[in-house]
Structure 1
Amino acid sequence: MYKLNSILENRTINQLISDFKRSPNQLNKPHESDAEILKLNNTLLAVTTDSISEEISQGLYDDPYLVGWMIVTVNMSDLAAVGATPLGILISEIIPKHFKEEKNKELQKGISDACNTYNTFVLGGDTNEGDCLVLTGTAIGIINQDKSISRIGCKPNDIVYTSGRLGSGNAYAISKLISQTNSFSNYKPLAQLKYANVNMQYASCCMDTSDGLITTLDQLMRLNNYGFELDENLENAIDIRAFEYSKNLNIPPWLLFAGQHGEFELIFTIPNNTKDLFLKEAFQNSLNPIELGKVIHQKEIKIPLYDELISMNTTFIRNLPIETNSDVNHYLKMLLEYDYQIKNEPCLKFTSP
């Protein structure tokens, strides 16, 4: 693995789990999969858990309906990345004492609507009272083949795809946390469960974009010891509304890939020799994957910017939220300074350690 511990979040996770005993039934190692994969007799079980807390406390999610929708979606997205079919979700809800009844109804409606959308069920959970609203979901799925899709397996010259356009998550975050205008509305991402069958057949690795494109590609690079080179027509993969929004704010569009609030699309790789078969089956199933680039031997993320192919300092980008203590204005300022450096010194190599 290529210096996973250079990323502060990875280092924290490794420290937390250092004394934990791994289940003999667990097939994946830490960091290798969006969901945990357990073999039970002849069945593969996918299990994942995620919380929504910081997003609420920071004001990113202030609509109870969206909170309910997201607690289901973030967990379904992890199941989608490993090719699992959902069995259901358990949800823990910590609800403030003075939470208004109409807000509580909207919260539960968001959960219900999301479950209906993904054809899954709330299997149970827990309720408690606390100072702040916090939701935690644990989703369970079944993998109907003898192996799952993991984050490991891509090879040089594999083609990199996204399941849909990118950037809406970070545009929404800018709207809520920085410009504070609510001018980028209607953020309601969908977990890409519809890709499970075709990706199980063709994908060599997969990860969702819950933390944005650059974080996703960087983690895949560190796990596979190969890098990625993105195409010149990369702007075609940006959500149209997000692209226009960034232009109106004079924010470089590539920053929509750098921020760590994603849109829950899937990033996956397809071997070049099966590309045509994959695309044929995808289109037959009304799927519209977008080609992003290719896997390369060099352990770096190369993005075409300002008429140059830039090797991005992805370690800097990924560690920046922690190093700026989640100060979103300082965070954006540092990203804009990095963009200025790229624009004015395009020949510099920004290789991730």
Structure 2
Amino acid sequence: MPSPLVSVALCTCNGEAYIEAQLASVLAQTHRELELVVVDDASNDRTVEIVEEAARRDHRIQLHRNPRRLGVNANFARAFSLCRGDFIAPCDQDDVWSARKLETLMAAIGDADLAYGDSAVVDSTGRPTGNTLGGQRRMVRGRGNVALAFENSVSGHAALFRNTLLTQALPFPEGVWYDGWLAFAASQRAGVVYVDEVMVDFRRHADAQTRIGHASRGGAPDRHQRRAREARQWLAMSVAALDAAATRPWPGREAAQALSRAITDADAGQRLMPLWQALLRHRRALYGDQALASWMALRLGARIVGRMRRARSPA
């Protein structure tokens, strides 16, 4: 049987420093049935010129340009709408993929809606830092994980998903990153598969557009303020994801609604006991049928309460 077409959705914005290496790594994939859909978000550097030059050499590249800047989520939503493949692989402009990334994820996805792998963290020059994203967080998998609103480990640059997932994932809700939302949607449908293998050199640098950036170089007051701000953002994003999930025809919508209400009330200074009760009552929706679901729900509660306290103590 012919190999399924995979659409690589590459979003760019002022990426001239790194885009050539990423283009080369995508075009060198061992899964040859691919199209590379590039959507440029109103770059004002040489990014478009570099992509146009590559497109003249390889017919698989399509270039689309936004007349005005849309931002990360909206740009990826447009890129996905232009993809023709049965499977879609989001792509950032500043990473480098291993040659077997698409082949490996295609072999692993099975009946699931989304598969993803690990990423090695590199610096702006591509030098390894010795860290991986999988070494810094719990890599989720399976179905029915409302906990993805809090503990999402799926990075778009490391993922492959079915085009049909977009029917339930779009539109992307406000206040939630597109890749975390896709993983949430996949967990509520046919599930998420994790492949414990490094497939991407994930570049961390000062100009990155993603949420994972550099720590502040300031002194203690700056560090405390940054930690308080990050805690507040984490809480806001988690509640936004829960609120959006409560409006979708998903199995976990009742749990999402109850948890959003409990967190909002607790954060407003009301009693914490209803939050703990909601977490335990909906532990199966949070973590599926895992044997340690109760313990994991209590651990999540401690994390939520800790973020609330940190958000109130900027100094």
TM-score normalized by the length of structure 1: 0.26
> 1 or 2, which has the higher helix percentage?
2
> 1 or 2, which has the higher strand percentage?
1
TM-score normalized by the length of structure 2: 0.28
| Structure with more relative contact order (C-alpha pairs < 8 Å, separation 6 or more) | 1
